[in-house]
Structure 1
Amino acid sequence: MLCIVLLLLSPLSWRMGEVELPMQFWWKQIFLVVLLISIFYSNVSFIVPKILLKGKNYLYLLIVILGAVLTYGIIIYFEQFIHYPEKMHQVFNPDKPFDPNRGRWLPGDIFQLMLYMVSIGLSTSLALVQKWQKDEALRRELDRQRINTELSYLKAQINPHFFFNTLNNIYALTNLDVKKAQEALLKLSRMMRYVLYENQKNETLLSKEVKFIEDYIELMKMRMTEKVKLTIQIEEPKEDLVIAPMLLLPFLENCFKHGVSSQQESEILIKLEVMGETVFFETRNHIFPVNPESPEAKENGIGLVNTQRRLSLLYPDKHRLKFGKDESSHQYWVNLTINLA
């Protein structure tokens, strides 16, 4: 497009009066177009990738300078071949004899060398941008593969962690109430179906995740005594929002693992609100010491650590997670906000 504007359309605007430009003039313009296009794509396809991007800067600079000299020589040879100077002299100076030894028109030569430099500059810029885009696409692909691999590893850690705790609870129920244990197994089978099918996806409906949370809470309630005051405030999502599966489970596990005591009274709060495309999740529970010899104590909070990592990978700059211990009430609290837009 640049060649067409500068070399073909531009001369049409400065034709003086009724002066008819000779055919040799248009032959030269077309030749310059072909020459500059050849220089442009040779630089993009070969010289920049094979020389400049390989770190051979001085060799590239030498080739550009030699290319300018060669281009200038080719233009002069072509002009002599088609008798361009003579024909142009006959048009603009018909009353004067043509002198073949007369010097060249310097502004015209400078303009042609500037066209060469513009072609080199644009083609070099294009080649560098293409290289940057290719490297950026490769980097994104590597990041995507790394994130998918890491997320698969993290989810693989969370699943055994969840089943380990749940099966321990059912095992404890078998010694107290066989019927409750059977009901717990039924709920667990429904939850396993969710884990097997939904957890293999990157996203699931928030409504399904909420149903999974409710089933888990019902399962935990079966082993709780009257000493535990359980407050559940879960809002059913109205829109078809999607969320990473089993993202909230580790927070619930920690509530029931650390917030339940068979000897002391305790409170557990689980709250989930949905406002537009934002989910607000909150938990509060008392903290009771865990048997240091139990498997739970040796896990060192693997579920929470992995969930923090999943949040940073899946919802960068779209989530806010705060947690801590309230010394006055001896309660552990978690506040999580996720923008699911």
Structure 2
Amino acid sequence: MLSTVLLLLSPLSWRVDIPLEFWFRQVLMAIFLISLFYVNMLWFVPNVLLKGKHAIYLLTIILGGVLFVGLLIYAENFLNLPELMHKAFNPDKPYVNKGRRISGDVFNIMIYLLTIGISTSVASVQKWQKDELLRRELDEQRINTELSYLKAQINPHFFFNTLNNIYALTNLDVKKAQEALLKLSRMMRYVLYENQKNETLLSREVGFINDYIELMKMRLTEKVTLNISVEEPKDDLVIAPMLLLPFLENSFKHGVSSQHPSEIMIKLEVMGSTVFFETKNHIFPAYSDSPEANENGIGLVNTQRRLSLLYPDKYRLKFGKDEDKQEYWVNLTINLE
């Protein structure tokens, strides 16, 4: 403590024989100030000042200062310290009691306030650090809970849509439906195991995307043109599992018509640690206005929320409709560093 150093070490620089009574007074002050420091830091600040009892705290500090100066005056008079110090500094001059010097009391009050100020600052910083740690833990728990809820919504949503597709395929080609079930079982293993984790290898996510596209191809007619460009990642980048799935679902669900020609474009590129993902598909108003089509809003809202939680300030998502071409487009850029 700075005040203790001033009290005990500073007098050693004086070139006089300091009486023993002076050191008794200094040790008494040091003990008082050390006790004051820890009592104020550990109990008084947390239980009075930080509880909003500012008036009580200020009044107590003032009374404590008066008590501190009063005890010093009593100790100095009891030890006859003024006369002893006069003889130490002025041995050739007779001692005359002229009363107390205000400068000495001002110095003692400054030492007292310095101790109070430092201990209050330390206690306040410790309280702030504790509150900040608690806030971060609560935020992390909230984010983990929300992410778990969002992922729990993705699983049945994806499974329900895929089963609908396979069910429709059974009326057209049983063999293709069987192949689709095999692909679905492999994809569900990915959903069950990888989706329980916060991260998965980008290569596995790309494999899941390719399986999903192949599964969708089985139910498409010749009227649908696919423009697929999915790059295999070279580095061991990691990404949140099933993050891109809702955009793929939208493309195949809203961009396919049994009566009109349509085109679906899916593009994924990796440059360093940045992933560029893009989809584009036609819009068919008659289908997109149906109640079933509106279900995809769940997946898009979830994906946007997951992106904001997992990749804050590291992603850019843009999407919209081109009314002239009757197309819906999505552009997503994610920095996976």
> Is contact 1:258-1:290 (8 Å) kept?
no
Q: 1:278 aligns with which of 274, 277, 281?
A: 274
How far did residue 170 of structure 1 move? 0.8
Equivalent residue in structure 2 for 1:222, among 218, 242, 250: 218
Aligned to 1:243: 239
Which of 126, 129, 149 does residue 145 from structure 2 map onto? 149
Contact 1:269 1:283 in 2 (8 A): yes
For 2:77 and 2:273, the matched residues in 1 are separated by 73
**1:37-84 deviations in whole A, cap 9, x for unaligned?**
111111111211221122211111110100000111122233334443
- Match status 1:21 vs 2:18: yes
Cα distance, 1:292 vs structure 2: 7.1
| Cα displacement (A) at 1:33 | 2.3
User: SS of 2:109's equivalent?
Assistant: helix
Q: For 2:108, give the aligned amino acid.
A: Q
Output the TM-score relative to the length of structure 2. 0.94
1:85-121 per-position Cα deviation (integer Å, ceiling 9, x unaligned): 233222101112334x431232222111101111111
- The within-5 A match list for 1:168-187 is 168-187=164-183
Q: Letter of the 1:45 partner, please give it.
A: L
Q: Provide the rounded CA distance (Å) in 1 between the counterparts of 2:288 and 2:270.
A: 38
Show the counterpart of 1:122: 118
> In structure 1, what is the Cα distance between the partners aligned to 2:202 and 2:84?
80
Structure 1 gap ranges (5+): none
- Tell me if structure 2 keeps the 8 A contact 1:290–1:297: no
1:165 paired residue among 161, 171, 194? 161
Q: Please tell me whether the aligned partners of residues 210 and 236 of structure 1 are also in contact (alpha carbons under 8 angstroms).
A: yes
Q: 1:32 deviation in Å?
A: 2.4
Given that 1:268 and 1:284 are in contact with CA atoms closer than 8 Å, whether structure 2 keeps it comes out as yes
One-letter code aligned to 2:292: E
Name the residue aligned to 2:102. 106
Structure 2 match to 1:331: 327
What is the alpha-carbon distance in structure 2 between the residues aligned to residue 10 and residue 240 of structure 1?
62
Q: 1:72 aligns with which of 69, 76, 87?
A: 69
Task: Note closer, same or farther for the CA distance 1:239–1:74 as it changes in structure 2 (3 Å cut).
Answer: farther
Distance apart, 1:289 and its partner CA: 3.1
Q: What SS does the corresponding residue of 2:159 show, helix, strand or coil?
A: helix
Question: Residue by residue, what CA displacement relative to the aligned partner does 1:130-172 show, whole Å, maximum 9, x if unpaired?
Answer: 2222222222222222222211111111111111110011111
- Read off the aligned partner of 1:90 and give its amino acid letter: K
Distance 1:293 1:279, change over 3 A: closer
Q: CA deviation at 1:293?
A: 8.7
Question: Where does the alignment leave 5 or more consecutive residues of structure 2 unmatched?
Answer: none
The structure-2 alpha-carbon separation of the partners of 1:185 and 1:52, relative to structure 1 and needing over 3 Å to count, comes to same
SS at match of 1:264: coil
Is 1:253 the equivalent of 2:242?
no
Distance 2:157 2:92 in 1: 100
**Residue in 2 aligned with 1:207?**
203
Per-residue CA deviations over 1:297-324 (Å, capped at 9, x if unaligned) read 2425111111111111222222111000
Give a deviation string over 1:167-196, Cα, whole Å, max 9, x none: 011111112222211111111111111111
Tell me which amino acid in the other structure corresponds to 2:218. M
Correspondence 1:35 to 2:51? no
* Identity percentage of aligned residues: 74
The answer to whether the 8 Å contact 1:319/1:338 transfers is: yes
Matched residue SS, 1:301: helix
For 2:167, give the aligned amino acid. Answer: Y
